[in-house]
Structure 1
Amino acid sequence: MPEQPLLSTVEVETASPVTASIVWLHGLGASGHDFEPFVPELRLPRSLGLRFVFPHAPRQPVTINGRYVMRAWYDIAHPDLGRQVDEAGIRQSLQAASALLDRERQRGIPAERLLLAGFSQGGVIALHAGLRYPAKLAGILALSTYLPFPASLDTEASAANRGTPIFLAHGDYDPVVPLTLAEDARHQLDSRSYPVDWRHYPMAHSVCAAEIGDISGWLQGRIGSG
């Protein structure tokens, strides 16, 4: 299979020199700009020397949205997200996310100072790719999302990331990705002894102020100073 070109990205650096990076994947129909305004809201200390990398997902027709072409990490064919899962699309996006992590390492960032994050569809890829990445990451941040075909972890999970901390957060009133799917993801990860920091908030399919504060604290704990 020919090597895929790197996805185009939006980048935000909080200080120089950069000593850590977060690759952050947006949700269905959004773009790399979606979480760009989120960076200053985290109020992270400049001493972390962070680079945020926000890739744009490829444009593709999405079945559940009438085959309308939009940015998506994989196709969705059914309102029940556990049915007719686009495994091929998810695996292709795994390669795209892994390539961006590889590029950060080539730019001089050690794997243990790399994080993979995502919201909704992007969170699916963050979990799927992060748990399979061959070098140990600093952490995986998965917001308002779920875990696709968890049984495949038993044969595909990277030994290097068996102990990688995971921040898993969800809205109690999420009409897009039901809370039960997030709770099932938590259970599947717990049962495999992954260290999961589970949070839920009185919100819908979104991000709230309390969650932003918790993410900020968690990131600082994972990265520390450069």
Structure 2
Amino acid sequence: MAATQKLHRCVVSQTGKHSASIIFLHGSGDTGLGLRGWVRDTFHLAFPHIRIIYPTAPARPYTPMRGALSNVWFDRHKISRDCPEHLDSVDGMCSTLGSILQDEIQAGVPKHRIVIGGFSMGGAMALHLACRYHPEVGGVFALSSFLNKDSVVYQAVEERRTRALSLPELFQCHGSSDDLVLHEWGEQTGAQLRRTGMSVSFHTLPGLQHQLCAPELELLRAWLLRKLPPVEHAD
């Protein structure tokens, strides 16, 4: 995937002075506009000082769908913790998404005032992007997401810890009844990242399936405001 590719973006602008940004990545088969509508219909996630950017992944052949085109951030050999990652597609998309960070930086937002996150596949993509390529961001969140058992993200995090380099804080939520991306996959991801050196807060939503809910987004909003406070209260 070419690094110069321009992704379509749905943007929710701040209502006041722009001092921070969130890049919120959708799940497989969705779009930025679709995720924006889902969030809007679930919980009022908007801020006076934070711009929220919902990019859309380009359509690509997706192996779990027998090669059919789908809006996915990367390919998978199959949906399983135990298979190798499709790193060519992951790394290509990291380069492409990096251009969104650069646009925000050029708009005057410091890197530590940018948070990257996503739902399902979008959360896994966010972890690759933040932990491996842009660890100076203000934080990363993953909702109903998991990493493969031998993910290179774990190696990157452990290497930064060994070198006493900074790492972004991770916020995770996962539904206890999620039978598409199993709760234990998400929990194991958070536990492994914590063992390798990240600060991780993991929240279980009782009875929630593979979806967003208002209590989850309310927790996320509180965490985002802690990581990205208004400028007059920023560290």
Task: Provide the TM-score with structure 2 as the length reference.
Answer: 0.86
Q: Over the residues paired in the alignment, what is the CA RMSD in angstroms? A: 2.4
Give me the whole-angstrom Cα distance separating, in 2, the residues matched to 1:2 and 1:69.
Answer: 18
Deviations 1:36-77 (A, max 9, x none): 13258245552xx11111111010111211222110111123
SS at the partner of 1:126? helix
> What amino acid does structure 1 have at the position aligned with 2:202?
W
Residue of structure 2 in register with 1:183 after alignment: 187
Give me the whole-angstrom Cα distance separating, in 2, the residues matched to 1:2 and 1:175.
Answer: 34
Question: Residues 161 and 121 from structure 1, CA distance in 2 versus in 1: closer, same or farther, beyond 3 angstroms?
Answer: farther
Give me the whole-angstrom Cα distance separating, in 1, the residues matched to 2:200 and 2:56.
Answer: 27
> What amino acid does structure 1 have at the position aligned with 2:93?
S
Aligned partners of 2:141 and 2:171 also within 8 Å: yes
Give me the whole-angstrom Cα distance separating, in 2, the residues matched to 1:134 and 1:43.
Answer: 24
Aligned partners of 2:81 and 2:147 also within 8 Å: no
Matched, 1:210 2:215: yes
Residue of structure 2 in register with 1:65 after alignment: 65
- Consecutive unaligned residues in structure 2, runs of 5 or more: none
Residue of structure 1 in register with 2:228 after alignment: 223
Give me the whole-angstrom Cα distance separating, in 2, the residues matched to 1:111 and 1:139.
Answer: 10
Give me the whole-angstrom Cα distance separating, in 2, the residues matched to 1:157 and 1:2.
Answer: 31
More displaced, 191-200 or 1-10?
A: 1-10
More displaced, 216-225 or 37-46?
A: 37-46
> What amino acid does structure 1 have at the position aligned with 2:222?
G
Give me the whole-angstrom Cα distance separating, in 2, the residues matched to 1:18 and 1:133.
Answer: 24
- The correspondence for 2:197, drawn from 193, 200, 212, is 193
Deviations 1:124-146 (A, max 9, x none): 11011101234621110111111
Aligned partners of 1:134 and 1:159 also within 8 Å: no
Give me the whole-angstrom Cα distance separating, in 1, the residues matched to 2:20 and 2:50.
Answer: 5
SS at the partner of 2:132? coil
More displaced, 180-189 or 134-143?
A: 134-143
Deviations 1:74-128 (A, max 9, x none): 1123242431421111111211222211111011111111010111111111011
Give me the whole-angstrom Cα distance separating, in 2, the residues matched to 1:20 and 1:183.
Answer: 29
> What amino acid does structure 1 have at the position aligned with 2:178?
D
Residue of structure 2 in register with 1:83 after alignment: 83
Shift in Å, 1:157: 8.1
Aligned partners of 2:114 and 2:138 also within 8 Å: yes
Task: Provide the TM-score with structure 1 as the length reference.
Answer: 0.89
Question: Residues 110 and 75 from structure 1, CA distance in 2 versus in 1: closer, same or farther, beyond 3 angstroms?
Answer: same
Residue of structure 2 in register with 1:173 after alignment: 177
- Consecutive unaligned residues in structure 1, runs of 5 or more: none
More displaced, 88-97 or 34-43?
A: 34-43
SS at the partner of 1:78? coil
Superposition map of 1:1-226 within 5 A: 3-37=3-37, 38=39, 41-46=43-48, 49-134=49-134, 136-148=136-148, 149=151, 150-153=153-156, 154-155=158-159, 162-202=166-206, 203-226=208-231
Deviations 1:149-194 (A, max 9, x none): 1443244789797342210111111111111211111111111221
Question: Residues 79 and 163 from structure 1, CA distance in 2 versus in 1: closer, same or farther, beyond 3 angstroms?
Answer: closer
Aligned-pair identity in percent equals 25
More displaced, 154-163 or 137-146?
A: 154-163
Give me the whole-angstrom Cα distance separating, in 2, the residues matched to 1:156 and 1:52.
Answer: 28
Aligned partners of 1:132 and 1:157 also within 8 Å: no
Question: Residues 43 and 178 from structure 1, CA distance in 2 versus in 1: closer, same or farther, beyond 3 angstroms?
Answer: closer
Give the number of aligned pairs. 224
Aligned partners of 1:18 and 1:50 also within 8 Å: yes
